Amino acid sequence: MRSMGATGASIPSPDSEQAKGQQEAHNSQETCSFLKESNREECPSFWAGKEPPVILISLDGFRPEYLSRRALENGEYRGEWAAATIKCLAQSGISSPYMMPSYPTITFPNHYSIITGLYPESHGIIGNQFHDPDLKDNFSIYTGATDPKWWQNGEPLWTTVRKQGKISATYFWPGSDVTFAEEEQRSPNYFFKYKKSTSFGERVNQVLRWMDLPIDKRPAFTTLYFEEPDSIGHKVGPNTANATEKVTIVDRQIRKLIDGLTERNISNCVNIIIVSDHGMADSPQGQKLVDLVKYVPDVANSTLTFLGPVTSIRPLKDTKGEEERIGGALSCKDPHMRVFNKWELPYRMHSVRTRRIPNLMVDMDISWRAVIKEEAWGSSGAHGWDNLYLNMQAIFVAYGPAFKNREVVRPFENVQLYNLMCHLVNVTPSENNGTWGALHHLLMDPPNLNVDANEELLDMPPILRTMAETKDGAKKRTGCALVNGEGNGKTSPEIEIEMKMTEDRENELLIAHAPLGIPFVVSSEPSTIPNDSNVLLINEDYLTGFDTESGIPLWTSYTVSGNMTNNTNIGKWIEDPRLETNHTGSCQRLSSIVQTKDVDYIHLFPKEFAMQKMDAWLDTNLLEVPSGIAHFIATMIQMLSEASVSRGPLHVISGPTRQHSPCVFFVVTACRMNSTAGEWNLTTCPVEHRDLQAFLLPVREWKYQNSCISDRDFIAYNVATLKDVERVTDFQFFPDLPMEDKLNLLARTTLDSTLIIDPTRQ
């Protein structure tokens, strides 16, 4: 067995029987008796306040896998857990298999996302180093990071707490030692300037001293930060005995805190939340490097570049031509590297809405780094890669009187924590990217979920019915000749379509194709969709929300069961006879647009799933997309068919977005059946068994990567959350679900489901 040297020893690998025997031998020792069995009513009256204080602890770079490691001593397994205290808190309180960090998976951006509830593009701390073109200055965590000019966006929780008359304290946290002239309330009441040499023990002792203060001076919210196991992970790599030892060291500090609270008889009078900012992956020195100079010889002199797992490139000459020269030179050159214009990055990365993010971004495979000639620093571990990599995930453990006991909950994004902590401290949250109530299911006594009066839904849009009922003597339309490629001046033959249906049949189809209700426009903010032009069209195979003013389908909703029919591949577009003469249909809209050879017309409800041929060819089901991406949509349809065979009936809602970069969205749900659930269907399926996967597929060709990515990788790369889709569509989905169930779906991460494809990056 290798001895543990300064450069990092590998983790010992005993055979499975030996490990099993050691585990069984030490089971009796691995009790959590140090966690005092008590309840909040036992808190000392002189100490207890209205709400228990919250202590938020960050273990930098602590990846979830560390919790499954056994402790080591002199290179041998001791049998107990390396993080025995945290394991006990997780088993006795509430935990998650992982917490998803924000992108990029870097220290400063994620600590500030946790404490503000904002994605980095919103709070502005987009990396540990970056350039601000408006300030004409560079940010670095090593120099000048406490200058308030960098921290103008977002409100951290210590500020929220102090503004609302309560006390906050921080023993280190990125941004907490920034002081604002004449704005004292933006800083915590108590804080320390960051000093890495401060011992972990002193940090814990100070938190305990804060807990000893009288109630009018005691912090309602406190942070505690440890640099480990991040530092050792960088130095020698995460898969080493040295990293395991550091896990034990920080775990002992958590135990010291718990013991100190127990001595004061307040261990069950404080809500403790333990998190990390990101994970850690092997990144061997001098290996798995892509030298940008090989493809752009002048990159060092012509750009401002921040290198590493996530690399940003800002051309010094700020022109479209210069960006295309550099981006084109890097395009598809190395299979471990992808280059994007930032507007082409998947929406899930939330990496657009600040000028601090330059136009050229480089995405690397895990463990790979971009360099210029050679690495500027040496390390054996790193982070920063896409948050779809499992090794980039963070931890979440919570214990205290507010939290449920002995529960493991679904993973969630770290921006959701801010709202939860605001509730625990009883303050009103500032504006953030989380969802109020998304984590209330973690609580022993969750508050009532009151519907915001400003978010009332519109009434169901009017249903347009047949021509015979509503359009007697209607003026004849132009037809779909141009869309069908029949040239100017021609008209499509008038086709009689039998579309009459009874009200009972309409109701049956509404249930079949929208089992949880049709998408509604949210009226809390100005919408891009005119309310009075939004109509509902009910077809045998699908439902459509259609904007009769713009002539564009808003969404289609349908159920897929089994293989594609393949019986409607040949046909012609026809005008929907239900549209009034003052309405604009897709054919009419497109007839006034200059036609190009680079556009394909797709069926929003796929014709491959149609049982009624004419339904699929109505122009209210027509959407034009660039020819270069039509094959991605076709592959998505094939994948829907495959999933409907392997997973049972699917409910699909899809349509175009009108915000951000143009996309076609897909929201797909199914019921995870088991042997006792034969009676469940897409309407009655319990939320815990309801599978959901969403996508935002760009309808613009990727400028630099389009020719070197497979269709299925493209689709997996553009996975999205339900919350993402609601943000970019102005829709609220599944209005018939109870609020608690809807929040369950909104809180899920992009890694939650493999319904259509496994998005996990390897």
Which percentage of the chain shows pLDDT scores above 90? Answer: 69
d(CA 435, CA 15) in angstroms, rounded, equals 46
Q: How many whole angstroms separate alpha carbon 227 and alpha carbon 6?
A: 18
Q: How confident is the model at residue 594 (pLDDT cuts 50, 70, 90)?
A: low
Whether the per-residue pLDDT at 474 is higher than 80: the answer is no
Q: 682's torsion region: left (phi>0), alpha (psi -120 to 50) or beta? A: alpha
Entry field: residues in the chain: 762
Residues 6+ apart with CB under 8 A from 364: 290, 309, 310, 311, 336, 337, 338, 370, 385
Distance of CA 589 to the CA centre of its chain: 36
Give span(s): CATH 3.40.720.10, the chain: 16-283+389-442
CATH number of 289-378: 3.30.1360.180
Per-residue pLDDT tens over the stretch 476-499: 556 788 888 776 544 444 454 556
Predicted local distance difference test score (pLDDT) of residue 668 = 98
Q: How confident is the model at residue 696 (pLDDT cuts 50, 70, 90)?
A: very high
Q: Report the distance separating Cα 498 and Cα 473, nearest Å.
A: 17
Rounded Cα distance between 184 and 179, Å, is 7
What is the chain's Cα-based Rg?
28
CA–CA gap between residue 401 and residue 267 (Å, rounded): 10
pLDDT for the residue 21: 43
Q: What is the pLDDT of residue 2?
A: 31
Strands (E), 308-424: 310-315, 337-341, 360-364, 369-371, 381-382, 394-399, 407-408, 412-413
Q: What percent of the chain has pLDDT over 70?
A: 87
- CA 610, 614, 619, 625: dihedral to nearest 10 degrees? 40
Summarised one tens digit per residue, pLDDT across range 280-304 is: 999 998 899 999 999 999 999 999 9
Cβ pair 347, 353 in contact under 8 A: no
**Which residues 6+ apart lie within 8 Å of 607 measured at CB?**
568, 569, 571, 616, 617
Location of each CATH 3.30.1360.180 domain in the chain: 289-378
| pTM for this model (two decimals) | 0.92
Q: What is the DSSP letter of 417?
A: H
Q: Which of 162-166, 352-356, 402-406, 526-530 has the lowest mean pLDDT?
A: 526-530
Separation between Cα atoms, residue 722 and residue 543, nearest integer Å: 20
- 228-265 per-position pLDDT tens digit: 999 999 999 999 999 999 999 999 999 999 999 999 99
* Residue-averaged pLDDT of the chain: 88
Torsion of CA 436, 441, 445, 450, to 10 degrees: 40
Alpha helices in 426-574 (DSSP H): 467-470, 503-513
Residue 18's pLDDT band (cuts 50, 70, 90): very low
Give the per-residue pLDDT at 28. 35
Question: Which secondary structure element, helix H or strand E, spans residue 507, and what is its range?
Answer: helix 503-513
- DSSP category for residue 454: G
**CATH 3.40.720.10, domain 16-283+389-442, yes or no:** yes
- pLDDT level of residue 199 (50, 70, 90 thresholds): very high
pLDDT at 701: 76
- Candidate list 85, 105, 107, 248, residue with the active-site label: 107
Let me know: does 274 contact 397? Beta carbons within 8 Å.
yes
Predicted local confidence at residue 611, as pLDDT: 86
DSSP state of 192: -
State residue 16 phi and psi, 5-degree precision.
Answer: -60, -35
Q: Is residue 454 scored above 60 in pLDDT?
A: no
Question: Quick one: average pLDDT of 566-580?
Answer: 79
Reply yes or no on whether the pLDDT at 5 is more than 70: no
Residue 568: pLDDT band with limits 50, 70, 90: low
Whether 107 is catalytic: yes
635 residue type, one letter: T
| 461 preceded by a cis bond (ω within 30 of 0) | no
Say which residue, 24 or 762, is predicted with more confidence: 762
| pLDDT tens digits, one per residue of 89-128 | 999 999 999 999 999 999 999 999 999 999 999 999 999 9
**pLDDT band at residue 565 under the 50/70/90 scheme:** low
CA–CA separation, 117 and 418 (whole Å): 5
Q: How far apart are CA 134 and CA 370, in angstroms?
A: 26
The answer to whether the CB of 233 falls within 8 A of the CB of 280 is yes
pLDDT band at 25 (very low <50, low <70, confident <90, very high): very low
Which superfamily, per CATH, for 453-746?
Answer: Extracellular Endonuclease, subunit A (3.40.570.10)
Q: Is 320 exposed, middle or buried (0-12, 13-18, 19+ CB in 10 A)?
A: exposed
pLDDT classification of 361: cutoffs 50, 70, 90: very high
Query: What are 492's strand-pairing partners?
Result: none
